[in-house]
């Protein structure tokens, strides 16, 4: 640690001393070759400086910010290329910042609160994905194909650059009022190679634009072909700089793969530009997904994403996180993507929405509704209701943990049912408490007092509304729209919805337990589906002439749910010992938060 700290002090001191020399001495020399000659010693020092670093990470960061960015800005400063960052009226401190960091002289206040929130959430998302990919590679590298590992490395590097620049910006921006240039602009949305390299690693792209590309097109005699020559030269320089980066990180001789990679891309971009010129806008490839017409082709383009989201919960290591991941990703997001693919019943996607809003609307049960629509009374009722549910949930869970050996199995199973009911409400409410203030968007309520249901049909219209709505849009409504017999179409739609729900719950239990399906869940939901259909047929026949008293209906509904739940819904949890795993996780969490046994 002492050696690392010493190297860091030497590193910072060297940069400060060198740039002070540039500010006071080189700036007095007229721009051109003589100023450049005066800067050569500094450029050599900055080229060798990363070799003092003792870790791969610090070597890479030092190279990018010092050997590449600062040296290229000093070259701009030497010849005053394309408005170099140096200004005689700038202070030494500002000169050092503008020369050593990818800074735009722009006030912080230009960023709206919404922009900052989107930036913070986007950074959080990148950190989570980065950590997840890194964890997968570390844990499962011996079992993964080399191509899969290489692909993961590419995404890891992409997110790492964004994260490093964002963290540097988080320190620099409040202190100086200056903004760092964004590290990238959603390169994964690029519609062509040219578009990708205009979005990716903007810090490096801008340095090459000012020191290689623009000087070449300004001096090249043929104006038509000058941009293509400038692009090839930029990719060549980029390849050589990446080659040097790998050499400094590995302390080995160059292998020239990097140079070849960038030259292949440079030639490809040039060929792409020539083709675009020849077509002159008469024909253009469609962008992915967003402009693919709704229907089977858009669905096919989404199949890889749906598969990934189906398997994603298997990367979770606890029962609770597996369940939450399955509900929000495998179920909710996948079903919304199916709606998006076929534009079923007004899918959540809107071309005018930002990427950030599209991600929120697709991955969460959100209604685009302002927070201000909620009155203070509604918020108080919500808070008190949530507090009540947390108390009941914790009480039931504590009773099961403490007294399970002394309670009848049916009592425990009934308690499990209520615990699951309250847990879903609590998780959705807590997610809403985070999302709502940040975005102004409201999550759909998880349920609407299902324990007050007066019939089975009424219960399933009140319970777990997130899932109910997803099934309504992707199963029920499409079926009643295509079924030939309009009278019986709703009943067929209900049966199909309960079947799909049963299969999804079956998959949920399999992913939580890592065991083969037992089909109890599917049977439970089919029993309820058939029961709801029978109930609806009886209501049709009676045509409102007779109705059960509400209290009797509630008692019968809760009784039927308890009997079928205890015999069909809960056994998959108990027979696979999921209940014991969940109780252990609860006990662990209680200890973490300081609860007493």
Most confident of 77-91, 509-523, 567-581: 509-523
Mean pLDDT of 504-519: 91
- Does the structure show a pLDDT above 60 at 530? yes
Task: Tell me the C-alpha distance between 276 and 282, whole Å.
Answer: 9
* Radius of gyration for the chain, computed over Cα atoms and rounded to the nearest angstrom: 31
Query: Residue 594's pLDDT is what?
Result: 57
- Does the structure show a pLDDT above 70 at 240? yes
Query: Residue 527's pLDDT is what?
Result: 96
Task: Tell me the C-alpha distance between 128 and 235, whole Å.
Answer: 32
Task: Tell me the C-alpha distance between 92 and 188, whole Å.
Answer: 38
Are the CB atoms for 68 and 100 separated by under 8 Å? no
Query: Residue 265's pLDDT is what?
Result: 95
Are the CB atoms for 297 and 323 separated by under 8 Å? no
Mean pLDDT of 149-169: 86
3-state helix, strand, coil in the chain (%, to 5): 75, 0, 20
Are the CB atoms for 202 and 183 separated by under 8 Å? yes
Where are the extended beta strands (E) located within 73-218?
103-104, 179-180
Q: How far is CA 339 from CA 313, 472, 474, in A?
A: 21, 11, 6
Mean pLDDT of 115-131: 76
Least confident range of 316-330, 468-482, 573-587: 573-587
Query: Residue 372's pLDDT is what?
Result: 46
Most confident of 7-11, 552-556, 574-578: 552-556
Mean pLDDT of 183-208: 86
Task: Tell me the C-alpha distance between 300 and 292, whole Å.
Answer: 10
Query: Residue 428's pLDDT is what?
Result: 81
Mean pLDDT of 287-297: 68
Which long-range contacts does 305-314 make (Cβ < 8 Å, 24+ apart)? 305/337, 306/334, 306/337, 306/338, 309/333, 309/334, 309/337, 310/334, 310/507, 313/511, 314/511
pLDDT in tens, 406-424: 888 888 888 888 888 888 8
Q: Which residues of 70-97 are buried (b: 16+ CB within 10 A; e: fewer)?
A: bbbbbbbbbeebeebbbeeebeeebbbb
331 burial type by CB count under 10 A (0-12 exposed, 13-18 middle, 19+ buried): buried
- Does the structure show a pLDDT above 50 at 209? yes
Are the CB atoms for 177 and 189 separated by under 8 Å? no
Give 109's pLDDT tier (boundaries 50, 70, 90): very low
pLDDT in tens, 221-233: 878 889 999 999 9
Which long-range contacts does 383-387 make (Cβ < 8 Å, 24+ apart)? 386/425, 386/426, 386/429
Token pair belonging to 517: 């399906």
What is the number of residues in the chain?
A: 597
pLDDT in tens, 450-467: 888 999 999 999 888 888
pLDDT in tens, 346-386: 666 665 566 677 777 788 787 644 444 455 666 676 777 77
In degrees and rounded to multiples of 5, residue 36 shows phi and psi of -60, -45
* 4: alpha, beta or left? (left if phi > 0; alpha if psi -120 to 50): alpha
- Does the structure show a pLDDT above 50 at 327? yes
Least confident range of 75-89, 123-137, 192-206, 249-263: 75-89
What percentage of the chain reaches a pLDDT higher than 90? 27
Query: Which positions ≥6 away from 468 have C-beta within 8 Å?
Result: 460, 461
Are the CB atoms for 175 and 160 separated by under 8 Å? no
- Does the structure show a pLDDT above 80 at 541? yes
Among 459, 453, 530, which Cα is nearest to 497's?
530
Per the listing, tokens 């903004």 go with 179
Task: Tell me the C-alpha distance between 50 and 58, whole Å.
Answer: 8
Give 129's pLDDT tier (boundaries 50, 70, 90): confident
Task: Tell me the C-alpha distance between 330 and 309, whole Å.
Answer: 5
Task: Tell me the C-alpha distance between 532 and 456, whole Å.
Answer: 6
Question: Which runs of consecutive H residues, i.e. helices, occur in 182-225?
Answer: 193-199, 202-208, 214-219
Q: How far is CA 283 from CA 102, 153, 190, 286, in A?
A: 37, 35, 18, 9
Token pair belonging to 313: 């919960």
Are the CB atoms for 200 and 183 separated by under 8 Å? no
Q: How many CB atoms lie within 10 A of CB 594?
A: 6
Mean pLDDT of 278-294: 68
Average pLDDT, the chain: 83
Are the CB atoms for 210 and 82 separated by under 8 Å? yes
Mean pLDDT of 56-74: 91
pTM of the model: 0.58
- Does the structure show a pLDDT above 90 at 268? yes
Are the CB atoms for 415 and 400 separated by under 8 Å? yes
Which DSSP helix (H) or strand (E) runs through 94?
helix 92-100
Query: Residue 597's pLDDT is what?
Result: 46
Could you write out the DSSP letters of every residue in 293-358? PTTHHHHHHHHHHHHHHHHGGGG--SHHHHHHHIIIIIIIIHHHHHHHHHTTTS-S--TTS-HHHH
DSSP 184: -
Query: Residue 438's pLDDT is what?
Result: 67
Orientation angle between helical segments 355-363 and 113-140, nearest 10 degrees = 60
In this structure, is the dihedral angle defined by the CA atoms of residues 157, 158, 159 and 164, taken in order, positive or negative? positive
Give 335's pLDDT tier (boundaries 50, 70, 90): very high
Task: Tell me the C-alpha distance between 422 and 428, whole Å.
Answer: 10
Q: Which residues of 30-58 are buried (b: 16+ CB within 10 A; e: fewer)?
A: ebeeebbebbeebbebbbebbeebeeeeb
Q: How far is CA 440 from the centre of its chain?
A: 19
Could you write out the DSSP letters of every residue in 544-597? TS----HHHHHHHHHHHHHHHIIIIISHHHHHTTHHHHHHHHHHHHHHHTT---
Give 110's pLDDT tier (boundaries 50, 70, 90): very low
Q: If DSSP codes are grouped into helix, strand and coil, which group holds residue 443?
A: strand
């Amino acid at each position: 640690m002492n050696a690392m700290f010493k190297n860091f002090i030497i590193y910072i001191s060297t940069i400060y001393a060198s740039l002070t020399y540039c500010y006071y001495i080189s700036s007095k020399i007229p721009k051109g070759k003589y100023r450049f000659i005066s800067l050569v010693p500094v450029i050599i020092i900055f080229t060798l400086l990363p070799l003092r670093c003792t870790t791969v990470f610090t070597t890479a960061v030092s190279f990018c910010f010092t050997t590449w960015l600062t040296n290229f800005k000093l070259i701009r400063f030497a010849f005053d290329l394309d408005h170099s960052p140096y200004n005689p009226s700038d202070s030494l401190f500002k000169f050092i910042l503008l020369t050593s960091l990818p800074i735009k002289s722009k006030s912080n206040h230009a960023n709206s609160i919404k922009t900052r929130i989107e930036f913070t959430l986007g950074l959080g998302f990148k950190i989570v994905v980065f950590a997840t990919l890194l964890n997968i590679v570390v844990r499962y590298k011996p079992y993964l194909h080399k191509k899969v590992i290489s692909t993961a490395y590419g995404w890891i590097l992409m997110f790492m650059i964004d994260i490093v620049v964002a963290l540097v910006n988080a320190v620099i921006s409040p202190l100086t009022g200056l903004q760092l240039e964004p590290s990238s602009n959603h390169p994964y949305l690029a519609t062509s190679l040219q578009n990708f390299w205009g979005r990716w690693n903007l810090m490096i792209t801008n340095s090459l634009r000012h020191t290689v590309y623009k000087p070449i097109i300004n001096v090249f005699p043929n104006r038509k072909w000058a941009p293509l020559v400038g692009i090839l030269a930029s990719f060549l320089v980029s390849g050589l700089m990446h080659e040097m980066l790998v050499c400094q990180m590995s302390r080995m001789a160059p292998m020239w793969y990097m140079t070849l990679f960038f030259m292949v891309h440079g030639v490809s971009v040039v060929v792409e530009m020539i083709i675009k010129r020849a077509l002159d806008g008469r024909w253009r490839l469609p962008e992915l997904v967003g402009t693919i017409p709704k229907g089977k082709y858009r669905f096919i383009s989404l199949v890889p994403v749906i598969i990934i989201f189906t398997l994603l919960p298997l990367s979770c290591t606890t029962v609770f996180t597996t369940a939450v991941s399955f509900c929000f990703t495998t179920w909710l997001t996948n079903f919304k993507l199916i709606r998006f693919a076929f534009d079923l019943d007004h899918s959540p996607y809107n071309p005018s929405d930002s990427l950030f809003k599209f991600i929120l609307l697709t991955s969460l049960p959100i209604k685009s509704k302002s927070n201000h629509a909620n009155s203070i009374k509604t918020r108080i009722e919500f808070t008190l209701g949530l507090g009540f549910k947390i108390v009941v949930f914790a009480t039931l869970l504590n009773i099961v943990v403490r007294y399970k050996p002394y309670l009848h199995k049916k009592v425990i199973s009934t308690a499990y049912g209520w615990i699951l009911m309250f847990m879903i409400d609590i998780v959705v409410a807590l997610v809403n408490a985070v999302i709502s203030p940040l975005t102004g968007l409201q999550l759909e309520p998880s349920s609407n007092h299902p324990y007050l249901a007066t019939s089975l049909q009424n219960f399933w219209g009140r319970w777990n509304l997130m899932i109910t709505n997803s099934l309504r849009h992707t199963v029920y409504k499409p079926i009643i729209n295509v079924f030939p017999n309009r009278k019986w179409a709703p009943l067929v739609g209900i049966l199909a919805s309960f079947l799909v729900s049963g299969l999804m719950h079956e998959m949920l239990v399999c992913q939580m337990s890592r065991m083969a399906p037992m089909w109890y869940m599917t049977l439970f939901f089919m029993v309820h589906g058939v029961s709801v259909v029978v109930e609806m047929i009886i209501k049709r026949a009676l045509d409102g002439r007779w109705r059960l008293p509400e209290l009797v209906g509630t008692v019968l509904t809760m009784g039927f749910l308890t009997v079928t739940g205890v015999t069909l819904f809960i056994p998959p949890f108990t027979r696979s010992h999921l209940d014991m795993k969940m109780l252990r996780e609860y006990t662990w969490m209680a200890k973490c938060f300081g609860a007493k046994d």
